Amino acid sequence: MAPISQGATGEGPMISGKESRRNFIGKIAGLSLLTGVALSAEEQSSVSSGSVRLGAPVFEKSDDPELLALAHKKMRYRAAYCPDVSISDSNKIKAVSETFSRHNIVIAEVGRWCNMMDADPEKRKNNLENVTEGLALAEAIGAHCCVNIAGSFSPDSWFGPHPKNLSTEFFDAAVENARKVVDAVKPMRAKFAYEMMGWSLPDSADSYLNLLKAIDRVGFGVHLDPCNIINSPDRFYRNGDIINECFDKLGPHIVSCHAKDLTWDVEMNVHFREVCPGTGAMDYTVFLKRLAGMPQQPPLMIEHLSGAEEYDQARNYILDHGQQIGVPFT
């Protein structure tokens, strides 16, 4: 989860600068859904893309699509967070999509980080519209997904813990919200996805599988961030098993992943802390090998680091570790 704009390449439906967000979303809603047959876990394990697409933020100050694409290539990234672009700017959407595609860089995700469960009805309505616009942008620019957390009932934090975040009421609201977003846009390529969290649904492979079945939309997919669901000592020590379970149960639906790491600060209570990949306990051998086995090649996006130097450290670790275990990168 990161408060940065995000999103895969290819041409999407274009909009004119004069069209409103509502009109554009309505136009997208008129498109037919592409349907496909998902691979079973067994079939998926036997088909491998053989490589991983890595991505992260870049610190190129220009908003020129060509310079941005070259900045990603310089860092050996073949995936990107969606550049800052307005849904109404059809020319820039087209330029970003075509330029990144030409350089073989997919746009992984459009991030729309807001609380779709906000207690204030007006805020909740605006947040739902914001996420719907994000999915429309993902579809237009050719992104793999638009991602957000399901939300929170907390009155103090848009993403914070609350007893009802694991309730049937929360589950039903998450289903309703996802259906509203997907049904408004009717994406043909992009997916809407919830990022997993340790204190709200979906908080496990099984709870995500239950959401997939209940939402029942081709336009809804899975965003995988294993660190986010390490919320107990058992899961911390068995994180490789947790990662395997996610790929076993959710693999065909995974559209994008986040890369970070986790350490345990020893106190009188349990306190896990995010750290740079390679400096914590996450099993990157399992993570990278399973990711390389996905035929849809979900991007692996580094996040939540302090600056260019730390992102360099994370990138170098992931690339080096991949080489050590025989996982190539696109």
DSSP letters of 41-69?
HHHHHT-----B-EE---------HHHHH
Cis peptide leading into 3, omega within 30 of 0? no
Give the pLDDT confidence of 114-148 residue by residue, as tens digits: 999 999 999 999 999 999 999 999 999 999 999 99
| C-alpha span between 101 and 33 (Å, rounded) | 23
Give the pLDDT confidence of 206-241 residue by residue, as tens digits: 999 999 999 999 999 999 999 999 999 999 999 999
Mean pLDDT of the region 244-255: 98
Q: Tell me the H-state helices in the chain.
A: 21-29, 41-45, 65-74, 90-102, 121-141, 168-185, 205-215, 233-237, 239-250, 284-292, 308-325
Neighbours of 46 (CB within 10 A): 10
Neighbours of 159 (CB within 10 A): 19
| C-alpha span between 153 and 162 (Å, rounded) | 6
Give the pLDDT confidence of 32-85 residue by residue, as tens digits: 233 233 333 333 333 345 899 999 999 999 999 999 999 999 999 999 999 999
Residue 324: pLDDT over 50: yes
Ramachandran region of residue 282, left (φ > 0), alpha (ψ -120 to 50) or beta?
Answer: beta
CATH topology of domain 21-31+38-325: TIM Barrel (3.20.20)
Please report, rounded to a whole number, the percentage of residues in the chain having pLDDT higher than 70: 85
Give the pLDDT confidence of 253-270 residue by residue, as tens digits: 999 999 999 999 998 999
- Confidence at residue 25, expressed as pLDDT on a 0 to 100 scale: 52
pTM exceeds 0.95: no
Residue 29: pLDDT over 70: no
Kindly state the tokens that stand for 127. 């947040």
| C-alpha span between 231 and 235 (Å, rounded) | 7
For the chain, the structural domain boundaries read 21-31+38-325
Q: Is the dihedral of CA 267, 268, 272, 273 positive or negative?
A: negative
Say how far residue 188 (Cα) sits from the centre of its chain. 17
Kindly state the tokens that stand for 257. 């992943």
